[in-house]
Amino acid sequence: MLNETSLAVFSLGFALGVRHALDPDHLVAVSTIVSRNKSVVGSSVAGAFWGLGHTASLFLFGTIVLALRWTIPDGFVATAEKAVAAMLVLLGVHAFWRAIRSSRLHIHVHTHDGHRHMHITREHQHGFHVGIKSFIVGMVHGLAGTGSLMLLVIATAPSFVAGSIYILVFGLGSIGGMLVLSTLISIPFVLSARFFQRFNHGLQFATSLLSIAFGLFWMAPH
């Protein structure tokens, strides 16, 4: 049975998970991922996959730290944060190139019953690929956040089981927070893609440049 103290700690973990999803680097990363989505539902799924990847890496490395009572060195945390910064730059560059190509038309030729049909469509991205990308990005972010989270867990968790549950509850909060966040972020992209193509392209360029700038700023020594 969970006592009141445990419930309070787990509730705090969930709230911190939701708050963690609102970190600036998370906002920037998810914005670049959902910037080309034409569906709010698809963007919500992408956000959920980000949260799943984030939780997966936290749980994997967190439980190892809890079991062995390791202390994560500062150098590991700093390296992981540099990896996140580099990933933001790569995401921004890819999104910028993708925005340039978005105005190009693609011609598809199909043959049905001996007749050839030509379809002209714009480049699009598949939901499966977006989900995988979001999951990987979330995992990298999870590694960068492992240090500060584990310090809190190790200091307060009375047992391995309690610490593991805390990580999962924190992860559920980050999944829920990112799902809602990605949904809200996608709305202007989805609406502008349907009714204001030029504005949509402008949003894509702005998002990609923001991701590059944020990543470079984070990589620079402070």
142-197 pLDDT, tens digit each: 888 666 666 667 666 778 888 888 888 988 998 998 988 888 888 888 888 777 87
Q: Structurally, how many domains does the chain consist of?
A: 1
Residue-level pLDDT at 120: 45
Sequence-ordered list of residues with C-beta below 8 angstroms from that of 6, at least 6 positions apart, any chain? 162
Q: What angle do CA 108, 111, 116 make, to 5 degrees?
A: 75
Q: Is residue 171 part of a domain?
A: yes
Sequence-ordered list of residues with C-beta below 8 angstroms from that of 188, at least 6 positions apart, any chain? 203
Residue 65 pLDDT level (bands cut at 50, 70, 90): confident
Q: Is residue 131 part of a domain?
A: yes
Q: Is residue 2 part of a domain?
A: no
Residue 93 pLDDT level (bands cut at 50, 70, 90): very high
Kindly report the pTM of this predicted structure: 0.78
Residue 22: domain span: 8-219
Distance CA 166, CA 160 (A): 10
Residue 30 pLDDT level (bands cut at 50, 70, 90): confident
Mean pLDDT of 83-107: 79
